[in-house]
Structure 1
Amino acid sequence: MTVTILITRPEPEASRLAERLQAVLGAQVSIVVSPLMRIEYGGALPDLTGNAVLIFTSRHGVEGFCRLSTRRDFTCYAVGDATAEAARAHGMTAISAAGDATALLNRIAAEGVHGPFVHLRGAHVAADVAEVLRAAGHDACDVVVYDQVEAEMSATARAALRGNGSVILPLLSPRSARIFFAQAGPITAQLCIAAISRKVAAVVPEGTKSVVDIAQTPDLPGILAVLQEQVGMAKRLEGGKRPQ
């Protein structure tokens, strides 16, 4: 039985994840990259004051900001380590919350930072960070610096989903999950979903015949740990009964 990992993240993250998985898992799996969104940068920044605190909840937010401004002297808070690393690569000082949007807001509150805050984000977000900050009495706004435009699933991905092997699907956002199930159609493969959070897992339609495992931490290491477990399970089940 073929074990396929289907990566639907936008580029360049999709190829980065594929390379990392191939290095770890080698010939154990076939990796199919079929982004279901593409990133389009654009937007306009407000007049940023010298004491503004920037908030990034994705590497695309960092890239979008850096395409619009040459300033790198702001205090920056990043949702996770990868986003913080992207900001540092552009010459900014970034503090990582090492988690999700809730962890980010908790970190800001714990450190007593008052802003004004500017959340550089995509057109579609899972959490309204600026609204939560405003509700807490802070001066906060959000600026859209990129869009996540839906893309068509590839023929190779559809063929894998209609096969009789195992397909392991990492899902890192509620929107990517919704797009996947809207496009997938009938699935005959044994589907295993690695969800980055309970919010993402909740988007899986009721009645979908799949195994859904949730990462213990809402980040790439958490997803990688789930994927490795699922690959091992799929291999052990080769030739056996499909899980219900």
Structure 2
Amino acid sequence: MDHRAEPGARLLLTRPEAASRRFLAACEAAWGGPIPALVSPVLAIRPVEVVLREDPAALILTSENGAARAVEMGLRDRPAWCVGPRTAAVARAGGLRAIEAGPNAEGLLAAMLAARPAGPILHLRGQHARGDVAARLRAGGLEARELVAYRQEARPPTPEARRALDADRPLVLPLFSPRSATLAQGWASRAPLHVVAMSPAVAVAAAPLGPASLDVARAPDGLAMVEAVLDRLAWPSPGLRGGAERIR
């Protein structure tokens, strides 16, 4: 693709540092050149000390953070039902038998209820999680439990991001989870915010930011987010090419 950035716009990336850098690299590869960007994680991942009361027959991993914690806890060489390719890749690299079971929790639930794996099945999750995965699997007759293995702590903007938020230069803000969108509400902004949300649920959580525009990616995955962000950055006018649904 041949793009030029909307004059003055910058990308504000709020995922954890490594994930933000990967996303920026994917955007720049698709864009065909550098994109002005700031990285300022809105949360930090902190491990929670846990005690396993039983040895799980299989794991549920709904994020790469959960996959990383499973490896740290020594839970290798067992099936791991994973949301998304990145989670599956981290699990596989750590010695788990990763099963990529869809792009989101709904896809994972459908796959597991169809396959009906033997339990006990343990969902390693963060302190803040959506979807009630273990409870819904139990309602479907599977032996599933959950364990909080990490917490997501709010972080303030970096000094550079704070200056950008206080200025007039437009910021394109991709948001990947309702939790991140909610935490971003604490980052008061004078700059016009052009939000790209990964899902309708993220868009709902982002609405209180009062964005100048709000788009939802066509699918809840990284490729669709890259497409939607590039749509938003496209110049001379942001035009939708199938990468997002315009909310406002």
C-alpha separation between the residues in 1 aligned to 2:32 and 2:9? 12
Map 1:188-199 onto structure 2 (within 5 A).
Answer: 188-189=191-192, 191-199=193-201
Aligned partners of 2:194 and 2:211 also within 8 Å? no
- Of 120-129 and 75-84, the range deviating more from structure 2: 120-129
1:108 aligns with 2:112: yes
Same amino acid, percent of matched pairs: 32
Cross-structure match for 2:66:
61
Note the C-alpha offset of 1:28. Answer: 5.7
Note the C-alpha offset of 1:207. Answer: 7.8
Note the C-alpha offset of 1:120. Answer: 0.7
Q: Deviations over 1:73-96 (max 9, x none)?
A: 211100111100111111211111
- Counterpart of 2:223 in structure 1: which amino acid? P
- Counterpart of 2:215 in structure 1: which amino acid? D
Aligned partners of 1:34 and 1:153 also within 8 Å? yes
Aligned to 1:182, the other structure's residue is in SS state coil
- Counterpart of 1:30 in structure 2: which amino acid? P
C-alpha separation between the residues in 1 aligned to 2:123 and 2:169? 42
The TM-score, its normalising length taken from structure 1, stands at 0.87
Note the C-alpha offset of 1:104. Answer: 0.6
Map 1:136-155 onto structure 2 (within 5 A).
Answer: 136-155=140-159
Aligned to 1:141, the other structure's residue is in SS state strand
Note the C-alpha offset of 1:205. Answer: 3.1
Aligned to 1:205, the other structure's residue is in SS state helix
Note the C-alpha offset of 1:187. Answer: 2.5
Aligned partners of 1:215 and 1:222 also within 8 Å? yes
Aligned partners of 2:15 and 2:41 also within 8 Å? yes
**Where do 4+ consecutive residues of structure 1 move more than 6 Å?**
none
- Judged with a 3 Å threshold, the aligned counterparts in structure 2 of structure 1 residues 207 and 49 are, in CA distance, closer, same or farther, namely closer
Aligned to 1:5, the other structure's residue is in SS state strand
1:86 aligns with 2:90: yes
Cross-structure match for 1:132:
136
Q: Deviations over 1:207-227 (max 9, x none)?
A: 814211111221211211111
Structure 2's unaligned 5+ residue stretches are 1-6, 239-247
Aligned to 1:224, the other structure's residue is in SS state helix
Aligned to 1:213, the other structure's residue is in SS state strand
- Counterpart of 1:188 in structure 2: which amino acid? A
- Judged with a 3 Å threshold, the aligned counterparts in structure 2 of structure 1 residues 132 and 141 are, in CA distance, closer, same or farther, namely same
Cross-structure match for 1:226:
228
Q: Deviations over 1:159-197 (max 9, x none)?
A: 2233333211110111110111122x14232x2111111
Note the C-alpha offset of 1:112. Answer: 2.7
Aligned to 1:55, the other structure's residue is in SS state strand
- Counterpart of 2:164 in structure 1: which amino acid? A
Aligned partners of 1:11 and 1:38 also within 8 Å? no
Aligned to 1:236, the other structure's residue is in SS state coil
- Judged with a 3 Å threshold, the aligned counterparts in structure 2 of structure 1 residues 207 and 218 are, in CA distance, closer, same or farther, namely closer
1:187 aligns with 2:190: yes
Aligned partners of 1:171 and 1:194 also within 8 Å? yes
Cross-structure match for 2:24:
18
Aligned to 2:44, the other structure's residue is in SS state strand
The TM-score, its normalising length taken from structure 2, stands at 0.86
Q: CA RMSD in A?
A: 2.0
Aligned partners of 2:70 and 2:76 also within 8 Å? no
- Counterpart of 2:161 in structure 1: which amino acid? A
Aligned to 1:106, the other structure's residue is in SS state helix
Aligned partners of 1:195 and 1:215 also within 8 Å? yes
Cross-structure match for 2:206:
204
- Of 156-165 and 58-67, the range deviating more from structure 2: 156-165
Note the C-alpha offset of 1:24. Answer: 3.3
1:237 aligns with 2:242: no
Which of 11, 36, 54 aligns to 1:30? It is: 36
C-alpha separation between the residues in 2 aligned to 1:45 and 1:103? 29
